[in-house]
Structure 1
Amino acid sequence: MIPANFEYHRAGSIDEVLTFLARYGGNAKILSGGHSLIPALKLRLNQPSILVDIARLAELRYIRQDGQHIAIGAASTHKDIATSALLAQHLSMMPQAAGMIGDPQVRNVGTIGGSIAHADPAADWPGVLLAADAEIVLQSTGGKRTLAAQDFFLGFFTTALAEGELVTEIRIPIPAAGTKSTYQKFSQPASRFAIVGCAAVVQVSNGTCSHVRVAFNGVSDSCFRDGNVEKALEGKAATAENIAAAAAQAAQGVSILSDHYAAEDYRKHLAQVFAKRALSAVAG
């Protein structure tokens, strides 16, 4: 497995990256962690004429509070997120999810920006970002635009990222007091990708659930917010009975994947099981 010939450039700035993308268009690929791109190169599923390495761009690697948001640079590694005290304080499902990704080698090198740009349906970040009401900042030589996560993830390995654009930042609103979050996953034991992953965010005040956000990855050909589960628990008392009833609505009306890891019926069952675990962790 030998890749086709390509030029390699280590970018020194965001502006330099955007210049390469504008110049080469679809013939340029961004190299960050490389865990998805490099195998595709070896199999010649991707044959770019130029690789632009952004892994060492300090201006894309940060986790900081920005007003009422937490801003995460796209080149922040999974380990950066797993060890972030700021995220642990405000949105604990982010470090929790990061710690479940791959193995130490993957977590030390892989980046959140690369993961969401690839949009693997079994990747962890897409579902987590949907539940977090995150926004994705995209930049090109023409300027910046910001998309809600639900508008960024479009389908099977498909996003709203246009030619010439780079994911530069993920912005997450700081949840209100009383909000808890979690990410629960049934993972493929070798790759640690999600067969079913469920992210949940719930605010509980005086025993009542509000701002319920539940999202899945690994279940369908793209991540999705589960409105049926959310509606079933929104405004309800945080009781075991209400949580079980809400979880039973998981993955209703969704086209569910079936493969050698899990058949459709089993995946749907797992979605309900892990929705219950997630909701119990944040509202039980």
Structure 2
Amino acid sequence: MIPAKFDYVRADSVERAIQLLQESDGEGKLIAGGHSLLPLMKFRLTEPGLLIDISRISELKGVRKEGDRVIVGAMTTHREAANDPVIKEHIPVLAEAARQVGDIQIRNRGTVGGNIAHADPAADLPAAAIVLDAELTIQGEDGEETMSLDDFIIGPLITMMPENGVVTNVTFAIPPSHAKSTYLKYFHPASGYPVVGVAVVAGTDSDGKIDYVKVGITGAGDMVFRAEAVEQALMGQVPSESVIDSAAGLAAESADMGSDLFASEEYREQLCKIYTARALKTVLL
């Protein structure tokens, strides 16, 4: 597992990274934490001629709240996201998901921007991102653009990322103050990747009826997805064991289940139902 020969350069600004991408004629790849790219290189599934290190660009780091959104710099590590007070206060489901990414080495080096932009169907953070209406800010040769997560990810490891673009930050909508959240997953014991991971943000009104609910599922199919059938079945209902179990039975309807040597389609479908029910009961009962 030795990668093909490549050159390496460290960019000191976003503008410099974009310039290097342009000059590489399609041979350049950005590297930050490297936990997604390097394994692909070792298996020679990708063979970039140039690695452009953006991990030390200070403008890509940090967390702040602006209005009704939390802005997370793309180079913010999983460990930093898990412990950041702004994230823990306003979007705790992201902190909870970040705490469960891989192992301590991956959490110390892997980044929020890289995890989401890689579009790995078995990544943890996209489940939290999709229930928080995440948007990616991308700077390219023609300026800056903002793209929703739904528009950005179009397939497993396939995105709308411009060839010479850099994700500078990811912004997340702050849920209503009465909503609670959680992220639960059943993971592969060797890798820590979710076989099924479920993020839920939900709350009830003064009458005890569900007035806000979002369910995001990762690991089960080719892409992260919202379990919209579950959401629709719960809206306006008074939460109970039976109501939640019935709605959770619809968890796999929004996507085709994946299958591999570890888990069949039927197994993943059942896990979607079980973990959706558990997550909903955690926040609603």
CA contact (8 A) 2:112 2:125 kept: yes
- What corresponds to 2:261 in structure 1? 260
- Cα deviation for residue 241 of structure 1 reads 2.1
- What corresponds to 2:124 in structure 1? 124
Cα 1:143–1:29 shift into 2, 3 Å: same
SS in 2 for 1:51: strand
SS in 1 for 2:122: coil
Does residue 98 of structure 1 match 2:103?
Answer: no
Does residue 36 of structure 1 match 2:39?
Answer: no
- Cα deviation for residue 25 of structure 1 reads 4.2
TM-score by length of 2: 0.96
Q: Which amino acid is the alignment partner of residue 146 of structure 2?
A: T
Q: Which amino acid is the alignment partner of residue 21 of structure 1?
A: L
- Cα deviation for residue 253 of structure 1 reads 5.4
- What corresponds to 1:214 in structure 2? 215
CA contact (8 A) 1:25 1:163 kept: no
TM-score by length of 1: 0.97
1:49-100 superposed Cα distances (whole Å, 9 cap, x missing partner):
1110011111111111122210000000000111011111112111111111
Name stretches of at least 5 consecutive residues in structure 1 with no aligned partner. none
Q: Which amino acid is the alignment partner of residue 67 of structure 2?
A: G
- What corresponds to 2:27 in structure 1? 27
Q: Which amino acid is the alignment partner of residue 32 of structure 1?
A: A
- Cα deviation for residue 35 of structure 1 reads 0.9
CA contact (8 A) 1:199 1:278 kept: yes
Superposed, which structure 2 residues align to 1:120-269 within 5 Å? 120-206=120-206, 207-252=208-253, 254-269=255-270
In 2, the alpha carbon distance for the partners of 1:127 and 1:95 equals 12
CA contact (8 A) 1:74 1:114 kept: yes
- What corresponds to 1:276 in structure 2? 277
Q: Which amino acid is the alignment partner of residue 5 of structure 2?
A: N
SS in 2 for 1:26: coil
Q: Which amino acid is the alignment partner of residue 61 of structure 1?
A: K
Q: Which amino acid is the alignment partner of residue 250 of structure 1?
A: A
1:191-237 superposed Cα distances (whole Å, 9 cap, x missing partner):
10010001111122221112311111111111111110110111211
In 1, the alpha carbon distance for the partners of 2:162 and 2:185 equals 31
Name stretches of at least 5 consecutive residues in structure 2 with no aligned partner. none
In 2, the alpha carbon distance for the partners of 1:25 and 1:189 equals 40
Superposed, which structure 2 residues align to 1:48-59 within 5 Å? 48-59=48-59
Cα 1:25–1:222 shift into 2, 3 Å: farther
In 1, the alpha carbon distance for the partners of 2:40 and 2:76 equals 22
CA contact (8 A) 1:25 1:164 kept: no
Cα 1:138–1:25 shift into 2, 3 Å: farther
CA contact (8 A) 1:215 1:223 kept: yes
In 2, the alpha carbon distance for the partners of 1:172 and 1:36 equals 23
Backbone CA RMSD of aligned residues: 1.2
In 1, the alpha carbon distance for the partners of 2:237 and 2:24 equals 53
- Cα deviation for residue 27 of structure 1 reads 0.9
Q: Give aligned-pair identity as a percent.
A: 39
In 2, the alpha carbon distance for the partners of 1:176 and 1:270 equals 28
- Size of the alignment, in residue pairs? 284
